[in-house]
Structure 1
């Protein structure tokens, strides 16, 4: 580099095509030379073992070769020693593509393209793809990724635990395409499941570590196709509309349009009712009616007559929606809309929640909170207790679009009231094999859904899981047997996703304690202590544990728990209806539904209406490290001081690198500055050789 200005990567584009398990990756890397003189560059690109170079171009010149792992590690080590920068150590154990030297003009740009080919690994019906990328929080290069998968058999689902995929709709059963635009760090991973007319499932497992190899965390992935046989269960939908005074103007106009759209979207055999409420409750019909041309015409006229005025009687409106017994053989659904908190009639949160717990018909209550003055913990509780989902439309957003989006996910159910259990090969119950299943309870499964279930397992024997529920009014069981022989620390995203969901469940419980002015008592301490423990262990930031990201913030109990308790009390329990409370629900929902890792710990901030990232918590494998005093501290160390020091570049350091590679934790050695690390229960300082 000239005058300290290195050639830098400004953007990367990846086009991935998979044909019958053979993946071709076309990479385009854009380089920029900010120096006043031309420079020479060489591309070093970590690649999966077994990948082959099929093409390379840099301004029409150059070549590239794949170096095996052993030779690549020598190059990584040489660069680290020369530049005294440990960053490349995260790629130890990875093959390397090395290009020839090519020029980059002063203040110029160069585009390098590379074509890789590899045969993807299969685990049963699941095919996995991994493209190595830096896990460093400082890696902010924008990537655009496009993928297309072609298979001779049907593809049940495509899933990425690392990045949120935008999957394009298709009618071809053996074709899936997706795209990603991201600056988030970490390997890009995706898997696809092959299947047919039935449900296809696969298991990814991660053991707890060398200290407990016989237990760990699992992720069950399943694609839910539309069934060819049987009559789909019709829906019985009750749309409950807030028409209090605060809904006046544009909001009630948008709600009228949304209600018309929802009624029109109901199918043959579906039934519906409409309820509007302020201080009183008005019903379109005494009980849900069959959707046909006459009932739709009458509903439109009723909707057009709605005026917004008065208070908000949530209790009586919900009681009216739950009162009629649903028609047998239908799936009873409620879409409950409000823009405020209960102000008239019975206003007790606990009394309103009791309506759901006492609903023998087990209606699914999908809540839609509009604006920032709703009681978000209450709406969350109503939805989650009934196998449904809460949704929020921020102030100024289009209520019609929000309501239509919620209704759009309520398609034809393929499996209702599903349950997951460990069984023997004949379906008999087996106790003690799995626990802490999330989500719990499982939601109803609709055609096209992707089911991602996380839980804990014990034992290394083959695991049989049975997914049971109701399909087309009749009981249905789906049984899958998985081997745990491939449980691997390479699947470290599994326990982190499980911990994220577990934290959300605990936060929901803490927020529920604040209903009607409750104080929580010992329950608050027990729940908040567990949130702090999981947050610290897995590097998962919450709005209540922000102190973990601050310099000097405590990492060990009881100091960390003491720091969290007042925040939980003030924000999670006392703040019931505000934009901040809605923001807490938005963050809790993201964690509750987590299916891909949140590497930068982005949290929604209601004050700015933006997601704010954190650069002080680095997730590496199944570990988490916290920036402290210019270095990094293992979350497991807490306040424990190191008892010995290992210097970088020494034989002892090299041996530690090899050991951590086996555990898929070696990326921590790439963190800059001094590193405090727990090794076999001992706290060790990793320092520079000075």
Structure 2
């Protein structure tokens, strides 16, 4: 019967016997009379073979938040595959302060009832289920309250729907409001579909919304109204659903909030994340800054065919998408450089029509004079008060004129006296991806790589839609401190902040040290004026609830270190010395082990079951991988190069949830995303699977050594270990299947499987 449970996904099914633990040993028909307890937000739990398990076939979640009060509605579809009627009972871990407002049951028989149990009573129920089932799946919910329903019938062969709504007043930290729906952090099969939608309303404009756990797709209905949903693939990911939103307190003002996490292994140090947004459109904001857009289009012979048609269509879309009063020009290049107009022209129906005719007349031929095309786009003086943007598209390496990567990027930097933002598009695999990435990042732009089977028109239009209404240019984040004192904020990523456009939000991460508040000033230019907001980073307010922050920081740090290797490996850049390479490799490997952030260079840590997690050996192997890639011609162009650049962009993503970064990288062999399931992130810990044993990354290099203590499941020592981990908010580590080697109180503790 257990094979049926593979359909349960990240949810779980537990059999709870009201007759107590002794009933587990009984093999009688009495089993079929007992209600099956459904724990939708737990991982799959073992059940006895004596009863056909009720299948949880779908879960729908709708979260409605009104001015800080949340109503969460969960609809469960329960299927009884048995030829006889069965009873079920729901148990749902929830935060404190929850009240049940509605329970809808569309079946026959008495209406079930639901009540909220406080965490002490909930603990007794969790303990009872864990002991009865000899399965630790529910220990991760120790410390949460729970909602328990009475039993309700499910007819044979039927699917029963039950809907439960609970309400709560959400916690707030200044202008930030936080929501959480507890779910398991342990990976399991993920076939049960979860759909999660959100309706957020506030009397004040909503400046930003962020999920540290899952990918949110949002639509702004109005200044104080946002609708959203969790992407289907992300909804299947494990972990509690966490959503934060920030309201705008003053019109025409920047909005910012700070989240910090204290480093438990380094007293007086920690990690921080800043979430900031420009003023909300439609909330009495100042007029938008107009844009001057220069489209740079590769018309070399290699662009011939469908991709040139797509590129031309993308250019037409951009011109049509400009607002009244904005300007544009077109630079097209192969061996030679041509332009649509001598200077950028204002967008009108007539100029847009002429631009369309100009684009239609272009014919791909010749080589690629990338250097001169860049300079042609960067040198002209933009109109005063306009934001100058360059959209640069190419499908090949420079073959005409200057071909040195280092000289091209240096020339572009020198020619860009007016701070034009370059948004580069590499089409196909035969592009110098480090060059295109450098051109973009050095100018506060971004790079995009369009694979051979992807649509150029779609890729370009998606980027351009983001570049609507620049609201904050040249942003900066500075620590204000007394003269002569050392900085307390370090390792800020990104090191250079990107411009903010309408609908953007800024996510900045870093580390801090010392006690006492730290003052940061976030500022930039809007409508020709300097705007700023003062933010306080208070280490005393750092919380273990923000365990996602260090993992997000580590993801960006790994990307930045790999990028340093790639940029230094360009021909003519001077290379990177052995000592620095070893230093970078050791840091990349250390972060990979500690946080589970893999690259193709360190993927062996999780892919190879016998690979040592010891830092010296692992770092040496990673260094060899990095040096091989740096020295190879494919490091600058080709599929491997594009994969590396896409992986860097993935890890630097502004809104990427940290849970989605763990064990994931882009493979150079086929440019596909690889998700490794022998590595897990649980709270702030990382575990690697070694021979059916989950190994705490803090014990890296000691995984083969004898543990300091061996603990049997369910023993008094187990209870003590669990209590310690509950205090550290790390109890979910014990919910994993199999043996667990974990560091507790400085000791290596082996927790035996049930």
Residue by residue over 1:437-458, the C-alpha shift from the partner in whole angstroms, topping out at 9 and shown as x without a partner, is 1122100011221111111122
1:367 match: 424
1:686 match: 751
Aligned: 1:597 with 2:658: yes
1:149 match: 200
* Counterpart-to-counterpart distance in 2, 1:453 and 1:594: 8
Alignment equivalent of 2:736, drawn from 667, 671, 674: 671
Alignment equivalent of 2:449, drawn from 372, 382, 392: 392
TM-score by length of 2: 0.86
* Counterpart-to-counterpart distance in 1, 2:537 and 2:512: 12
Alignment equivalent of 2:339, drawn from 279, 283, 295: 283
The 3 A distance-change label for structure 1 pair 632 and 435 is same
Residue by residue over 1:148-190, the C-alpha shift from the partner in whole angstroms, topping out at 9 and shown as x without a partner, is 12222221122111111111231x2221111123211100011
Residue by residue over 1:635-678, the C-alpha shift from the partner in whole angstroms, topping out at 9 and shown as x without a partner, is 11112122222333233322222221222211111112221112
Q: CA deviation at 1:417?
A: 0.9
Residue by residue over 1:84-137, the C-alpha shift from the partner in whole angstroms, topping out at 9 and shown as x without a partner, is 211111111111112222333444322222111111111111111100001111
Aligned: 1:189 with 2:251: no
1:567 match: 625
Q: Which runs of 5+ in 2 are unaligned?
A: 1-47
Contact 1:127-1:191 at 8 Å conserved across structures: yes
Count of aligned residue pairs for this structure pair:
685
Residue 659 of structure 2 aligns to a residue whose secondary structure is: coil
* Counterpart-to-counterpart distance in 1, 2:483 and 2:382: 32
The 3 A distance-change label for structure 1 pair 638 and 483 is closer
Alignment equivalent of 2:319, drawn from 253, 263, 281: 263
1:348 match: 404
The 3 A distance-change label for structure 1 pair 654 and 2 is closer
Q: CA deviation at 1:431?
A: 4.5
How is 1:250-649 mapped onto 2 (pairs within 5 angstroms)? 250-292=306-348, 295-358=351-414, 359-423=416-480, 431-516=486-571, 520-522=576-578, 523-549=580-606, 550-571=608-629, 574=632, 575=634, 576-595=636-655, 596-599=657-660, 601-605=663-667, 610-640=672-702, 641=705, 642-649=707-714
Q: CA deviation at 1:553?
A: 1.8
Residue 478 of structure 1 aligns to a residue whose secondary structure is: strand
2:57 match: 10
How is 1:204-243 mapped onto 2 (pairs within 5 angstroms)? 204-209=259-264, 211-225=265-279, 226=281, 228=284, 232-243=288-299
The 3 A distance-change label for structure 1 pair 173 and 566 is same
* Counterpart-to-counterpart distance in 2, 1:322 and 1:5: 70
Q: Which runs of 5+ in 1 are unaligned?
A: none
Q: CA deviation at 1:213?
A: 4.4
Q: CA deviation at 1:418?
A: 0.7
Residue 42 of structure 1 aligns to a residue whose secondary structure is: strand
Q: CA deviation at 1:32?
A: 2.8
Residue 275 of structure 1 aligns to a residue whose secondary structure is: strand
Alignment equivalent of 1:661, drawn from 726, 732, 736: 726
Residue 636 of structure 1 aligns to a residue whose secondary structure is: helix
Q: CA deviation at 1:291?
A: 3.8
* Counterpart-to-counterpart distance in 1, 2:647 and 2:58: 30
Aligned: 1:87 with 2:137: yes
Please report the RMSD computed on the Cα atoms of aligned residues, expressed in angstroms.
2.4
Contact 2:663-2:680 at 8 Å conserved across structures: no
Q: CA deviation at 1:206?
A: 0.7
Identify which range, 436-445 or 643-652, moves more after superposition. Answer: 643-652
Identify which range, 366-375 or 509-518, moves more after superposition. Answer: 509-518
Residue by residue over 1:547-592, the C-alpha shift from the partner in whole angstroms, topping out at 9 and shown as x without a partner, is 1213112212111112222332344663222233222222221111
* Counterpart-to-counterpart distance in 2, 1:174 and 1:267: 25
Alignment equivalent of 1:201, drawn from 251, 256, 263: 256
Residue 169 of structure 1 aligns to a residue whose secondary structure is: strand
The 3 A distance-change label for structure 1 pair 269 and 602 is same
* Counterpart-to-counterpart distance in 2, 1:276 and 1:471: 32
Alignment equivalent of 2:126, drawn from 69, 73, 76: 76
